[in-house]
Amino acid sequence: MEIIPAIDIIDGKCIRLTQGDYSQKTIYNESPLEVALQFESIGIKRLHLVDLDGARQGKLVNIDILEKISSKTNLKIDYSGGISTDEAIEQVFSCGADIASIGSIAVKNKELFSSWLQKYGAAKILLGADVKHEKIAINGWLQTTDILLFDFIRDNIDKGVTSIFCTDVSKDGLMEGPSIELYKKIKNKFPELNLIGSGGVSNREDVLLLKEIGCSGIIIGKAIYEGSITLNELKKLL
């Protein structure tokens, strides 16, 4: 299972939200590059880089951070937030992202999303399935749709999606444990899917449990920044 630290960006700074609430913001570092270099120094290979300004505004905002990190590290970067046009996804790849993480557009413009899958291939596209009460949330989690999670996953597997990351918004940033039962349901229904868990991870045991149920990766954010999982512990999990 791949360990994938998250760097969430607002105003060019490394921050974390609680339950996707932009008013509950904690700044952890003024320099996302510095954080990325720390991760790389312990052997981390992949980074989940989130432009929260972009997610809220529906356009790329902090693309310069991607460019800095990609040019000064060898990390494999999946980038999300504000990827809403052909030009935007092209810019994300040209600025150094290896994978584009797409959420809202897969809901709001299915044809465009399908065209990206065909053009770039499933290995370059990571589908984000953010959920509140098993319904899909979009626009930086600010809007909950009536789309059921399992219908959403099935529709996109049929289009060629092979990997998703699923965040239970109710768990995110609370460090009270991930949505194990939800991930079990997903793996039972879609055993072929590469499932990346996200949200709620609080300690080493959570990571091992997600591995046990078959997650191919785990995105970890606040637990690292709050010291619940130290860099030394993270290194041992690799």
Q: Are 215 and 197 contacting, i.e. CB atoms less than 8 angstroms apart?
A: yes
Above 90 in pLDDT, residue 232?
Answer: yes
Q: How many CA atoms lie within 13 A of 59 on its CB side?
A: 3
Residue 84 predicted with pLDDT over 70: yes
CA distances to 117, 150, 214 from 156, in Å: 10, 10, 20
Predicted confidence band of residue 174 (pLDDT cuts 50, 70, 90): low
Structure confidence at residue 17 as a pLDDT band (50, 70, 90):
confident
pLDDT band at 173 (very low <50, low <70, confident <90, very high): low
Residue 121: which pLDDT band, with cuts at 50, 70 and 90? very high
CATH label of the domain that carries residue 63:
3.20.20.70
Q: Give the CA distances from residue 164 to residues 25, 28, 112, in Å, rounded to whole numbers and listed in that order.
A: 26, 27, 18
193-228 tens-digit pLDDT: 999 999 889 999 999 999 999 999 999 999 999 999
Q: Which residue has the tokens 């921050």?
A: 15
> Which pLDDT tens digit goes with each residue over 177-187?
899 999 999 99
pLDDT at 148: 96
Among 55, 67, 51, which residue's Cα sits nearest to residue 6? 51
The per-residue pLDDT of the chain, averaged, comes to 94
Please give the model's pTM, rounded to 2 decimal places.
Answer: 0.93
Q: Is the pLDDT of residue 18 over 90?
A: no
> Which structural domain, as residue segments, surrounds residue 21?
2-237
Distance of alpha carbon 208 from alpha carbon 123, whole angstroms: 25
Q: Which residues are catalytic?
A: 8, 130
In this prediction, residue 23 has a pLDDT band, given cuts at 50, 70 and 90, of confident
Q: What is the pLDDT of residues 129-163, one digit of tens each?
A: 999 889 998 876 678 899 999 999 999 999 999 99
Count of structural domains within the chain: 1
